[in-house]
């Protein structure tokens, strides 16, 4: 999973990136066309269950699920459209963490000389919608040209796409985001290559200080109320400072400020909820590994996250739950209690499932 950290200038997104990735060396900062910059870091997802499994199995290797965070600069409050370089970067992430300034600092003034979280959110969401609208309009022009020329694809196929993109256009005009549409699998496949920004979930982070005014829900519910968003509040500067302390000092200051979890835990839990993610595990003496999947992922699809050969040659999935293993203490006791089972390819994998895939390896094609 790749999450892009975005926001208007001086919102504190780079401070949040530093707080999230302090234990990880960024893979580098990339400058594109001199306009957009990206700093990237790959972070392990904290998971108490995988720690328990590691102690239980004592494997050679432990592999947490991973999240890639990208600190993306280049967004301003006066862009009619995004530069192509920035648009490419934004279209390639799975979701956004939108950092919104909710603090005053005369040494670092807001670019619009005011503090208004709801207005800042509206500015960026509207810029996303405008850029998606331009893509849809260009596609409709292309489809109309194809229809008029003839001699290419079947007309019913072109007409189907025209109706779909006209629906997208209407939604962007009236309901803000493509994310608000209920699309069929075929329609989702048709638009998947366009990287529409309003189709991506967004975690809104209100960046406060100890003097910030408490905010009500800062998203305009009339225009943006149906978007797939989550909203949390934190103090990025304080979180970054705490992240740099040793564990004892960090625990002391977290208690002083009434913080029950680290910023990384808070962001990841919110992101998992926003993107409807859950974890399953593969276990053994060689490796314990956590895998992130979306809701409604079936056993055969989950096998494909491990290896494509497992998906294509899927036979059955051996399944037990983490909760049952922890409660009963061993695989043999789980089996004795009737909690170990074989599932077919349509089984919907549950959060915390421990799975072993039975599959038929592909044959080598040799002449």
When pLDDT is cut at 50, 70 and 90, the band that residue 113 belongs to is confident
pLDDT digits (tens, 9 = 90+) for 316-326: 999 999 999 99
Neighbours of 118 (CB within 10 A): 15
Distance, in Å, from the CA atom of 322 to the CA atom of 328, rounded to the nearest integer, reads: 10
Higher-pLDDT residue of 235, 50:
50
State phi, psi for 325 to the nearest 5 degrees.
Answer: -65, -45
| Domain residue spans of the chain | 2-47+57-114+199-274, 125-198, 296-359
Nearest to 356 by CA among 326, 312, 323, 320: 320
Mean pLDDT on 154-171: 93
Task: Note whether 103 and 212 are within 8 A (CB).
Answer: yes
The CA dihedral of 15, 273, 117, 110, to the nearest 10 degrees, is 20
Which pLDDT does position 179 carry in this prediction?
83
Beta strands in 79-135 (DSSP E): 95-101
Which pLDDT does position 208 carry in this prediction?
86
Distance, in Å, from the CA atom of 180 to the CA atom of 338, rounded to the nearest integer, reads: 43
Mean pLDDT on 242-250: 83
Mean pLDDT of the chain: 87
Least confident interval from 32-41, 70-79, 141-150, 153-162: 32-41
pLDDT digits (tens, 9 = 90+) for 178-194: 888 888 989 999 998 99
Distance, in Å, from the CA atom of 183 to the CA atom of 65, rounded to the nearest integer, reads: 29
When pLDDT is cut at 50, 70 and 90, the band that residue 227 belongs to is low
Beta strands in the chain (DSSP E): 2-6, 28-32, 36-44, 61-63, 66-73, 95-101, 202-207, 229-234, 277-282, 287-294, 314-321, 341-343, 353-359
When pLDDT is cut at 50, 70 and 90, the band that residue 237 belongs to is confident
Which pLDDT does position 114 carry in this prediction?
85
Which pair of tokens denotes residue 49? 């269950």
Residues of the chain with pLDDT > 70: what percent? 89
Task: Note whether 60 and 287 are within 8 A (CB).
Answer: yes
Mean pLDDT on 40-45: 91
Residue listed under structure tokens 């625990």: 251
pLDDT digits (tens, 9 = 90+) for 292-343: 999 999 999 999 999 999 999 999 999 999 999 999 999 999 999 999 999 9
pLDDT digits (tens, 9 = 90+) for 56-74: 999 999 999 999 999 998 7
Which pLDDT does position 65 carry in this prediction?
93
Mean pLDDT on 128-144: 93
Which pLDDT does position 367 carry in this prediction?
46
Task: Note whether 24 and 64 are within 8 A (CB).
Answer: no
Res 228 pLDDT > 90 = no
Helix ranges (DSSP H) in 150-283: 155-174, 185-191, 221-224, 236-243, 247-256, 263-274
Which pLDDT does position 88 carry in this prediction?
85
Angle between helix 155-174 and helix 117-149 axes, rounded to 10 deg:
160
Which architecture characterizes domain 125-198 according to CATH?
A: Orthogonal Bundle (1.10)
Res 112 pLDDT > 70 = yes
Q: Would you give the DSSP letter of residue 180?
A: G
Res 99 pLDDT > 90 = yes
CATH annotation of 2-47+57-114+199-274: 3.40.50.300
What's the topology of domain 296-359?
Answer: Ubiquitin-like (UB roll) (3.10.20)
Res 365 pLDDT > 60 = no
Which pLDDT does position 32 carry in this prediction?
59
First to last CA, the chain: 40
Mean pLDDT on 135-159: 90
Mean pLDDT on 14-31: 74
Q: Region of 113 please: left (phi>0), alpha (psi -120 to 50) or beta.
A: left
Res 233 pLDDT > 70 = yes
């Amino acid at each position: 999973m790749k999450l892009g950290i975005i926001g208007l200038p001086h919102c504190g997104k780079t401070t949040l990136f530093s707080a999230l990735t302090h234990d990880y060396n960024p893979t580098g900062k990339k400058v594109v066309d001199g306009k957009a910059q990206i700093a990237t870091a790959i972070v392990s997802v904290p998971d108490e269950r995988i720690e328990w499994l590691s102690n239980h199995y004592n494997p050679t290797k432990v592999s947490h699920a991973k999240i890639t965070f990208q600190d993306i600069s280049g967004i301003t409050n006066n862009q009619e459209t995004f530069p192509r370089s920035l648009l490419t970067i934004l279209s390639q992430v799975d979701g956004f963490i939108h950092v919104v300034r909710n603090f005053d600092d005369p040494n670092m003034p807001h670019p619009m000389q005011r503090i208004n979280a709801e207005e800042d959110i509206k500015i960026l969401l509207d810029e996303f919608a405008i850029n998606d609208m331009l893509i849809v309009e260009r596609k409709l022009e292309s489809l109309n040209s194809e229809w008029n020329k003839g001699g290419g694809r079947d007309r019913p196929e072109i007409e189907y796409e025209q109706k779909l993109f006209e629906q997208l256009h209407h939604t962007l005009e009236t309901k803000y985001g493509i994310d608000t549409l209920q699309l069929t699998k075929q329609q989702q496949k048709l638009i998947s290559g366009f990287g529409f920004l309003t189709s991506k979930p967004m975690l809104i982070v209100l960046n406060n200080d100890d003097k910030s005014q408490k905010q009500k829900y800062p998203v305009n519910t009339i225009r943006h109320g149906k978007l797939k968003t989550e909203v949390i509040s934190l103090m990025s500067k304080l979180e970054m400072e705490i992240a740099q302390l040793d564990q004892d000092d960090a625990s002391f200051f977290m208690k002083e400020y009434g913080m029950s979890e680290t910023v990384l835990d808070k962001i990841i839990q919110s992101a998992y909820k926003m993107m409807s993610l859950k974890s399953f595990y593969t276990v053994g003496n060689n490796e314990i590994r956590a895998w992130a999947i979306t809701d409604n992922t079936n056993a055969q699809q989950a096998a494909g996250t491990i290896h494509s050969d497992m998906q294509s040659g899927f036979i059955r999935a051996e399944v037990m739950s983490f909760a049952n293993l922890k409660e009963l203490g061993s695989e043999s006791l789980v089996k004795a209690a009737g909690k170990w089972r074989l599932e077919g390819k349509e089984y919907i994998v549950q959060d915390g499932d421990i799975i072993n895939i039975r599959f038929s390896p592909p044959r080598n094609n040799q002449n």
